[in-house]
Every structure is written in structure tokens, then in C-alpha cells.
Structure 1
């Protein structure tokens, strides 16, 4: 196995883990990192989706107590049943729209201009959402959410089908605009990520199985491992961060990064081969 390829897989895994749950778009960063590392093509796109599963294992570990209690309580506890139904409701829109429009989006929207534009627009939306916050939140815990709240968040998550938008950013900021506290929106975003990203990974691997071979196992294993480790560190840090900070720094980062992409692509300094 090519050592350089394993190093690239490790770097991509770290990028995935560090960006998946921050409101800065893991897909956008993976597209750009892959371009810089010459880690592109159909196989690379399958790899990028598959290693999201590593990041999800980190969520499962961090939230294991709540997940275990929910699974154990499903037969008899109304709280566990309501929570599970809300996650399922929020999960459905991304499945439906992803199946309907996923191929079209990958064909026409995976471009430097789209990624950069969504980075910048997303940054301004975060700034607007943060400065719009006033007074107490309507929902301070995920158990207070109604099925309608879950459906709205599921629809908001669909914005992340466009590269550069950010799944976590859409659900967290969308949740805040819908009346959830910053912590409740962040928690639900993590819970919703579990079926969403596992489903996307399994579907992608099955659909593109002809592109894969036994020789790819070490590359995928390295990517999954580094995605898991970096995501675990990122999640633990983010949960402490949201307790007393806003997302404005991430907004400015998105705007600055988007401008850099547009500048380097426009001047021909970097060939962003997405």
C-alpha cells in the first residue's frame, strides 16, 4: 500500500472529523482538501462519504448514555418513544430529497464557485441568526420538541445537500431560528447526524461498490480512524464551547475562507478540481 496515499487518507479523516460537527461544512472542506492533495475522482467521493461513519461513532460514544436509555426505554417509556419519533421525522426529508436530487446536485453544484458562495452566504446567515437572538428560547431541551419542530429541522437539514452549506450549521442555526436554545439545537443536530450520516455512508458504499476493492480497505480504515479521533475531540470541545459562546467566529471564518476560494480560483493560483 502506498504510504503517501495512507497519509492523504489520514489528513482527509482529520478534516472530516474536525469539520463535520462545526457549522463550517465538512463537505466543502473535504472537496477543497482533496483538491489540494490530489485526492479526487469517484472513488475519493465515496471515501469522503464513508469516513463520515467514523465521525458518527464519536457522537455515539459521547452521547452513549442517552442513546442507551432511549433504546432500553422504547418498549414502554413515552419520553424515549417521542424522542425516537422526532429523530425519525427529521431524518426523512433528507432521504427523500437526497434520492430525488442527489445525482443532479453532485453533477452541477460541486464547483469552487458554489462552495465559496455557500460558505459566504452561510457565514452571513449565522451572523444574522446570532444577532437576532433575544429573550429566552422556546425550547431548552430536545425532549421539549414537537413532531412539527422535528419536521422543520429535517427540512432545514436538506439545505446541506448543497456543498459548502454545512449539515450541522443548517440544523444548529436553523434550530435557533425556530426557537431552540443553542444547546438544544446542537444536541439535536448530533442526534440527527447518527441516522443521516450512517445512512449516507452505507448507501454510498452500496451504490458505488463496483469502484471498491479489497486493496481499498487500509485507506478506508485509516480515514475512519482519524475521522473518529478528531471528531471525538471536536465534539467534546464544541459542547463546552456552546455553553458560553456564540457561533460568530465560525461565521467570520466561513466568509474569509469563501473569499479566499473565490480569489485563488479567479486568479488561477489554485485549480480547485472538485
Structure 2
């Protein structure tokens, strides 16, 4: 394993970490760097090894969310009283998070094979990026001017379910889970920061579960030859996701979703010019 391959792993981890939880679609960005970086050496030319690497760097991003929201997860799991803020109206419950996960979880199980076999193409990702951008613009323009929910502790079961239903759109590659759930959140009266917090909290169990299962299926590809590449990508994704999440949470209430939607539309143009 030469140093160039390690640098490439770091770059891929950086792309994953910076884009996984922002509403810009990590899938769209990975498409751009995939052909340029990922399949450049023999042991990475294998589709199975490449997919395993993507799982590894996604786990790095998930770990960053756990670190940022560690006190919240401590509360949710009943392992102790975390240092989370409370509105005085109770706390976010694990059952509310589960309610938000159920719709996309059911559809994901039912249509997982179909999605993998038919929807992971450049054309479908471009469609997801574009339609997701329209939803984000719509959410910013038609959400309540004064949000009624300014902390996740105020979220109701109805709002959690609504966000979960909107999250189903993110099963279409390129749509972006963060973009869908944040749009659903602000349309139900959440502040942008609250919608982002709830999005990140919901992302951990569904992404960790899916990645964990995939990792077990691909465990045999963790060879000594590929291990340094995997470790470099994991650490890079974790560090850059940590930076991205903290920066994004400070920024989102100020800039809202429209700038990210415009960026996504520009990304559609770039991908189209590269591939078509």
C-alpha cells in the first residue's frame, strides 16, 4: 500500500464526512470522486471491496454524530442523565425517534433489493438531487415564519411521524436523508436547528443498523492489504464529519435550506457535464 493510496482514502473520507449529514447528498458527491479515486488499484477495483470501503467511511461519519450528541443518546437510552437542554415540557423520548424511523425502515426493507439494482445510476441520482432541492426550497418558503418548536424536547409524536414519512423520499438515491427530514421538520413548525438535531439523532440507528449488517456481509474483504486504506478513510470521515456537524449546527438557523438547494442544483449541472 503506497502513500498515494492512503491520501486517496483520506480524500474519500473527507468527502463522506463533509457531505453525509449536510443536506447536499453524499451519494452525489461520491459519484464524482468514485471513478477518479476509488478504483485506481487492483485490490480496490473489486466492486465488493469498494462497497466495503464506503461502509467503513460511513461508520466513521456515524461515530461523529454519536460523539456530538452523546449526552442526548445517554438520555434516550436511559443510561444516565445527560447534559441536554430541556424546554420544561419533558424530554425527547426514544419512542418518538422510533416512530420517525418506522416508515422509511419498512419501505427500506421491502424495496432494498429493487433500489440497489435499479436506482443507483447517475441519472436517478440527478433526479433525486433536483427534486430534493425543490422540496428544500418549498420548505423554506412555506414553513411557519415563527417556529413553534425550538428544541427536540418539544417535538410531538405527530411531528416525528411526519418527518419519518418525508424521510421515505430519501430512499431514492441523491434525494438526501438530511434534506428530506429537515424539510419535513421545518414544514411541521420546527426551527431549522431543531429539525437538524432531530435529523442527526434519527440518522444514527438507521444508518448504523444498515451499515452494520452490510459490514458483516463484507467482513472477508478486510485483508491486511486493504486495512490501512480502510483505517485512513474511517479516521478521515470521522474527523471531517465532526467538523462539518458542529459547523452546520451553528450555521443552519441563519442560512436555512435554500443555499444548500442552490448548491445541489449546481452539483447536478457539474455531474451532468462530467458524465453526459
When normalised by structure 2's length, the TM-score is 0.87
2:217 corresponds to:
207
CA distance in 2, matches of 1:94, 1:184: 20
Shift of residue 121, structure 1, vs aligned partner: 1.9
CA deviations over 1:87-124 (Å, ceiling 9, x no partner): 12222333322222122111111111111222122222
CA separation of 1:30 and 1:264: change in aligned 2, threshold 3 A: closer
1:17 corresponds to:
17
CA deviations over 1:1-60 (Å, ceiling 9, x no partner): 243332222111100100011100112212321122243623212321332111122112
Mapping 1:29-48, distance limit 5 Å: 29-39=29-39, 41-48=47-54
Give the secondary structure class of the aligned counterpart of 1:215: coil
Shift of residue 160, structure 1, vs aligned partner: 1.7
CA deviations over 1:53-101 (Å, ceiling 9, x no partner): 1112211222222223443358xxx945x52111122223333222221
Shift of residue 191, structure 1, vs aligned partner: 0.6
1:60 corresponds to:
66
Give the secondary structure class of the aligned counterpart of 1:51: helix
1:142 corresponds to:
152
Count of residues in correspondence between the two structures: 262
CA distance in 2, matches of 1:29, 1:176: 25
Mapping 1:18-167, distance limit 5 Å: 18-39=18-39, 41-70=47-76, 71-73=78-80, 79=90, 83-167=93-177
Q: Which runs of 5+ in 1 are unaligned?
A: 267-274
CA distance in 2, matches of 1:208, 1:96: 23
Answer yes or no: is the 8 Å Cα contact 2:143–2:189 preserved in 1. Answer: no
Answer yes or no: is the 8 Å Cα contact 2:149–2:190 preserved in 1. Answer: yes
Answer yes or no: is the 8 Å Cα contact 1:50–1:202 preserved in 2. Answer: no
2:5 corresponds to:
5
CA separation of 1:51 and 1:134: change in aligned 2, threshold 3 A: same
Answer yes or no: is the 8 Å Cα contact 1:50–1:204 preserved in 2. Answer: no
CA distance in 2, matches of 1:214, 1:202: 20
CA deviations over 1:227-247 (Å, ceiling 9, x no partner): 111011111111110232222
Give the secondary structure class of the aligned counterpart of 2:255: coil
Q: Is 1:232 the equivalent of 2:242? A: yes
CA distance in 1, matches of 2:105, 2:224: 29
Candidates 187, 191, 196, aligned match of 1:177: 187
Q: Which runs of 5+ in 2 are unaligned?
A: 40-44, 82-88
Candidates 257, 260, 269, aligned match of 1:247: 257
Give the secondary structure class of the aligned counterpart of 1:165: coil
CA distance in 2, matches of 1:140, 1:208: 41
Computed over aligned residues only, the root mean square deviation of the Cα atoms, in angstroms, reads: 2.1
Give the secondary structure class of the aligned counterpart of 2:189: coil
